Amino acid sequence: MRSITRGNIKTAFRSVKSAKWRSLLTMLGIIIGIVSVVTVVSIGEGVKQQVVSQINHRGKDLITVRPGQLVNRDSKGHITGVNLFSGMATTGALSDNDLQVVRKTRDVKLAVPLSIVAGPVVQEQKTHNNIVVIGTTSDLPEALKQEVEFGGFFKDSDENLNGAIVGSNVAANVFGDEVPLGEGFTFHDQEFIVRGVFKEFKNAMLSLDTDFNNAIFIPYPVARELTNNNASIYEILAQPKDAQSAHAVASSIKQNMSRAHGNQEDFTVLKQDESLGVTNNIVNLLTRLIAGIAAISLLVGGIGIMNVMLVSVTERMNEIGIRKAIGATSRQIMSQFLMEATVLSVIGGIIGVALAFVVNFLLRIFTSIEPIMSWQVVVIAAGVSLVVGIVFGTAPALKAARKDPIEALRNE
């Protein structure tokens, strides 16, 4: 039995080699499907690890308050689902009164507003419309545990002055200088001076946070003045006095905010582990969606293998007749053609996994994405390609096995 199996494998490889281009085109759907699915899943895992690293850097005691109901909770307060289209906008409904409520909550050490002020940034007569200008307070570096690499962050005494701190990308792309200290720009017809540059933020794709590398930070009082005291806060960062009391402080913030909003929970309070869970839920949902779409290529590839094998059965009718005439059983004929379909699919899977490695490597080099390709994904991809070969090779193999030897020998 083993010799028959080895013979079938050798025959399958000879068949693939004898029609290389046809075999490659047949495997193309499998290759594209495997590359797509493996790459998407690897990107999803990479994003999760980036978010974990980002949260660990900021500390597990950081509490975020956002507008809108970002999550659904059960009666015990556990997150049961994510509202993808709520609370994701960069502008929100939080107000200065909400900031004061958070600040006055018991055991809150600091509360930092993040308020986006819309408008273009003008630097040396060049207008930049893709820069995010954020109004905040002097406690931001402490809340984010992020260093100002050059210069310094504004202090409480400077919060009525037009000083600005810029992200690393803004320094390089807007000012053309990694250290643009003392340089100026115009925003809302007012002149601002760069007083500091943040060290590069390690932001994760699909994270709920704004990319602070492309942001300019100005004092919150100045932001309110520029908007005629109508600056809307899209996020409040709170830190408890004691890291161990983060859960209790988050609950107190939620109760106080609810009272301030007339018992309407049109806001979301998240601890860091919950922020991680929300991001992971979003990543998992998008990964499944895109991977499912990519998996259609595997279906197309399987149909391609079936079509080619049906043609192969027709072309090799005389071979089938001769083999049956000299004693080959229907089961042996079926095994031969099923093995050919499986070899085509498995080779396509191997090529797909190899190309996925290359794609992931290029993504790491040329983009900020850091995909993680686990061995589990590779094993699943190989298993899927094997299953596709067996499933879609069954029909041609059955057709070959059921051929009458006399009829097959008569076929021209």
Q: How far, in Å, are 84, 217, 304, 395 from residue 297 at the CA level?
A: 27, 46, 10, 20
What is 283-316 written as a DSSP string?
HHHHHHHHHHHHTHHHHHHHHHHHHHHHHHHHHT
User: H/E element holding 185?
Assistant: strand 184-187
Beta strand pairing call for 148-151 and 190-198: antiparallel
- In this prediction, residues 391-396 reach a mean pLDDT of 75
Tell me the pLDDT band of 410, cut-offs 50, 70 and 90: low
pLDDT value for 105:
92
End-to-end CA distance of the chain: 32
pLDDT grade for 21, boundaries at 50, 70 and 90:
confident
More confidently predicted of 30 and 208: 30
User: How far apart, in whole angstroms, are the C-alpha atoms of residue 159 and residue 141?
Assistant: 15
Q: What is the DSSP track for 355-372?
A: HHHHHHHHHHHHSS----
* Angle, CA 347 vertex, CA 346 and CA 350 arms, to 5°: 85
Distance separating alpha carbons of residues 65 and 378, to the nearest angstrom: 39
pLDDT tens string 203-251:
655 555 678 889 999 999 999 888 888 778 888 999 998 888 888 898 8
The Cα 193–Cα 280 span in angstroms is: 39
Instruction: For the beta carbon of residue 307, count every other beta carbon within 10 angstroms.
Output: 14
Residue 252 predicted with pLDDT over 60: yes
Cα-atom radius of gyration of the chain, to the nearest Å? 31
Q: Which of 108, 348, 59, 49 is nearest to 248 (CA)?
A: 108
* Percentage, residues of the chain above pLDDT 90: 19
Strand pairing class (132-136; 184-187):
unpaired
- The whole-angstrom separation of Cα 48 and Cα 52 is 6
**Residue keyed to tokens 């300019």:** 216
The structural domains of the chain, with segments of one domain joined by +, span 2-52+287-410, 94-265
Looking at 5-14, 153-162, 389-398, which range is the least confident one?
A: 5-14
Block residue for tokens 């660990």: 56
Which helix (H) or strand (E) segment is 212 a member of? none
Structure tokens at 263: 């018992």
**Predicted local confidence at residue 195, as pLDDT:** 93
- Please give the mean pLDDT across all residues of the chain: 79
Q: How far apart are CA 265 and CA 250, in angstroms?
A: 14
Query: Has residue 90 got a pLDDT over 60?
Result: no
Q: What's the pLDDT tens digit per position in 104-138?
A: 999 899 999 999 898 899 988 889 988 899 999 99
Predicted pLDDT at 91 = 42
Please provide the DSSP assignment of 43-96 as one string. Answer: HHHHHHHHHHHHHHHH-TT-EEEEES--EEE-TTS-EEEE-TTSS-SSS-SB-H
Confidence band, pLDDT 50/70/90 cuts, at residue 100: very high
Q: Specify the pLDDT at position 88.
A: 42
pLDDT of 164 above 90 = yes
pLDDT at 134: 93
Which residue, 246, 209, 217, 221, is CA-closest to 109?
A: 246
Question: Which amino acid would we find at residue 129?
Answer: N
Mean pLDDT of 14-33: 75
Single out the residue of 403, 410, 384 nearest to residue 330, CA to CA. 403
